[in-house]
């Protein structure tokens, strides 16, 4: 008669201590991350580099270890042209939402590199992953979406460390993307990313450099014990 299987978890190990140089490198990457618009070079992203970037994204924290993300890699010019057309429709709608005195400034912004970047990545969230009850989602079911955003940020920072630019195209109607990408009903679009090498980056956020908005200081966003 077979006895019970020992399912004890491995013992925890001491946390790794990072050197001063490693810490500086991390904060440097965070400080120099940029949202790249259309300044992409045509050179393809090396497959080994892309694999490292995707591994970093896949290492993101996720609620209940559900790992709800998937990464759809888009290189086909015809499919990307369909996405570009969907962006153009949404962008026209978005421009009309702004006050008349801001519309010309909006039109001057270059807000996407869908066709110029050599690679697009659509990051999705499978809301059925893990079954009907997932540890940590019982009272905040939207945390699977938040987990997927963590994967996007990991991807973005890893890409920056690899010298690869990333731009997040949020001016897209998900209903337009669904048939183009053949998405099942239970899968949500979280981020549509343009990915590729760039020659130059802005010293700070591009929208600040172009006078569209300004970055606020941390102190304006820190509160104690409540709102």
Q: Kindly list the structural domains of the chain, giving each domain's residue range(s) and its CATH number in brackets, ordered by start.
A: 35-199 (3.40.109.10)
What percent of the chain stands above pLDDT 70? 97
Q: Is 205 left (phi over 0), alpha (psi -120 to 50) or beta?
A: beta
CA distance 191 to 167: 10
Give the number of other Cβ atoms within 10 Å of residue 157's Cβ: 19
- CA dist., res. 12 & res. 63, Å (int): 20
With CA atoms as reference, report the closest residue to 159 among 116, 218, 201, 206.
201
The pLDDT value recorded for residue 2 is: 53
Task: Let me know how many helices (H) and strands (E) the chain has, helices first.
Answer: 7, 4
Burial (CB < 10 A; 0-12, 13-18, 19+), residue 129, is middle
The model's pLDDT over 77-101, given as tens digits with 9 standing for 90+, comes to: 999 999 999 999 999 999 999 999 9
Structure tokens at 176: 């337009």
Residue 204 has what pLDDT? 87
pTM above 0.85, yes or no: yes
Residue 6 pLDDT: 60
For residue 140, give the nearest of 64, 56, 206 by alpha carbon. Answer: 64
Distances (CA, A) of 35 to 4, 39, 175, 191: 53, 10, 24, 13
Enter the tokens of residue 11: 């013992």
Q: What is the mean pLDDT of the chain?
A: 94
Residue 211: predicted pLDDT: 86
For 10-69, the pLDDT digits (tens) are 889 999 999 999 999 999 999 999 999 878 999 999 999 999 999 999 999 999 999 999
So what's the pLDDT on residue 38? Answer: 79
Q: Quick check: helix, strand or coil at residue 195? A: strand
Mean pLDDT of 166-195: 97
């Amino acid at each position: 008669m077979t006895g019970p299987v020992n399912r004890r978890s491995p013992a925890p190990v001491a946390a790794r201590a990072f050197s001063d140089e490693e810490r500086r490198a991390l904060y440097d990457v965070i400080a120099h991350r940029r949202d790249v618009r259309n300044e992409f070079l045509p050179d393809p992203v090396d497959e080994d580099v892309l694999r490292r970037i995707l591994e970093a994204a896949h290492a993101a924290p996720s609620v209940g270890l559900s790992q709800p993300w998937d990464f759809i890699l888009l290189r086909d010019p015809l499919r990307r042209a369909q996405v570009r057309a969907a962006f153009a429709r949404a962008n026209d709608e978005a421009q009309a939402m702004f006050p008349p005195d801001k519309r010309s400034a909006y039109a001057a912004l270059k807000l996407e590199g869908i066709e110029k970047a050599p690679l697009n990545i659509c990051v999705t969230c499978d809301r059925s992953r893990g079954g009907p009850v997932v540890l940590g989602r019982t009272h905040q079911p939207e945390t699977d979406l938040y987990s997927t955003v963590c994967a996007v940020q990991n991807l973005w920072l890893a890409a920056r460390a690899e010298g690869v630019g990333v731009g997040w195209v949020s001016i897209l109607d998900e209903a337009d993307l669904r048939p183009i990408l053949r998405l099942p009903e239970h899968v949500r679009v979280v981020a549509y990313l343009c990915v590729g090498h760039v020659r130059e980056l802005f010293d700070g956020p591009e929208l600040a450099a172009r006078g569209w908005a300004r970055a606020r200081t941390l102190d304006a966003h820190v509160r104690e014990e409540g709102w």
